[in-house]
Amino acid sequence: MSISLPDMGHLRAFIGGIGYFFQGVGWVARHPRWWLFGLIPALVASVFYVFALIYLVTRSVDIAAFLTPFADGWSEGVRSGTRAVLAVVVVVAGLGLAMVTFVTVTLVIGEPFYEKLSEKVDESFGAVAESDDTPWWRALPRSIADGLITLGYVLMFTVPLFFMGFIPIVGQTVIPVLAALVSGYFLTVELTTVSLERRGMVRKERFRVLKSSRSSALGFGVAAFVAFIVPIVSVVAMPAAVAGAAVMVRTRMLPAHRAAPESSTDYSLSTERRSV
């Protein structure tokens, strides 16, 4: 079976997206001061999550008992076994929710940090022609709202995938791949928001930009997803992911978006509106 040229193009773009993540790693490695700067909000968020998860683990049995008042009349063995299984499910669900929300929470906490880091990455490639000078504290409510909307989309996909993971064979083979692709794509949505918002792009415009480079966005997101699976690595890799997203937006996504016939006109009009 032969692979068509368009398929090969998507594959190259996917691999290129992975490469942008490692370009971000390389950028922060060459600028360790900015890596440490971007590490601050990730550390703050990780401390919050560690305490939240410790609380969840220590209280999981109590939570399971609260959720199963109907089991009070059951025999001791059945009641304890049911609640023990539910307690494990509660902890696993909490871990999954932590993985899904870590980037969103960290970006909200670190809005001024990552905006500055993204700006420095952009400056290393030259001046930005179009820039939104809205102060971060004014943009924060919009960022929180956008983050919650994106989180809603993520949960809409990941919650069903979580339960489908219990299906024999399929749940251990196909579902993890789908989960990585879905979670990875929305990680890219969140990580590129910093760079795209600096250019004055609202949520719908940002999604159009990602649509024009969907394969690259998937590759970048999958690389970030794999890195963020490990808690310690997720903290260390967060500045690199923001830097890599800034590089990808600057050198891949915006040129591809402007070259797309159906979007170049919309982009020009939106830029003109912001310049008036």
- Average of per-residue pLDDT across 175-180: 88
Check: CB of residue 218 under 8 Å from CB of residue 181. Answer: yes
Q: What is the distance in angstroms between the CA of the first residue and the CA of the last residue of the chain? A: 54
Closest CA to 238 of 150, 140, 108: 108
Residue 133 has a pLDDT of 63
What is the Cα–Cα distance from 248 to 217, expressed in whole angstroms? 9
pTM for this model (two decimals): 0.82
Name all contacts of 130-139 with Cβ < 8 Å and 24+ positions apart: 130/199, 130/200, 130/271, 130/274, 130/275, 131/198, 131/199, 131/200, 132/197, 132/198, 132/199, 132/200, 132/274, 134/200, 136/111, 136/112, 139/111, 139/197
Give residue 100's pLDDT band: very low, low, confident or very high (50, 70, 90): confident
Inform me whether the pLDDT recorded for 268 exceeds 70: no
Q: How confident is the model at residue 66 (pLDDT cuts 50, 70, 90)?
A: very high
Predicted local distance difference test score (pLDDT) of residue 154: 83
| Segment 30-52 mean pLDDT | 94
Residue 273 has pLDDT above 50, yes or no: no
pLDDT tens string 120-157 = 999 888 766 566 666 666 666 777 788 788 888 888 88
Instruction: Determine contact, residues 191/108, Cβ cutoff 8 Å.
Output: no
Higher-confidence position of 191 and 7: 191
The reported pLDDT for the residue numbered 130 is 61
Lowest mean per-residue pLDDT among 72-76, 137-141, 169-173, 233-237: 137-141
Higher pLDDT, 154 or 31: 31
**Distance separating alpha carbons of residues 263 and 256, to the nearest angstrom:** 10
pLDDT of residue 149: 83
Give the residue-averaged pLDDT of 237-245.
95
Q: How confident is the model at residue 274 (pLDDT cuts 50, 70, 90)?
A: very low
Backbone angles phi, psi at 101, to 5 degrees: -100, -10
Span of 59-68, 97-106, 145-154 with lowest mean pLDDT: 145-154
Question: So what's the pLDDT on residue 112?
Answer: 87
How high is the pLDDT of residue 76?
A: 87
What residues does each domain of the chain span?
5-42+110-267
pLDDT for 270: 46
Q: Is the pLDDT of residue 4 over 50?
A: no
Instruction: With a cut of 80, say whether residue 2 has pLDDT above it.
Output: no
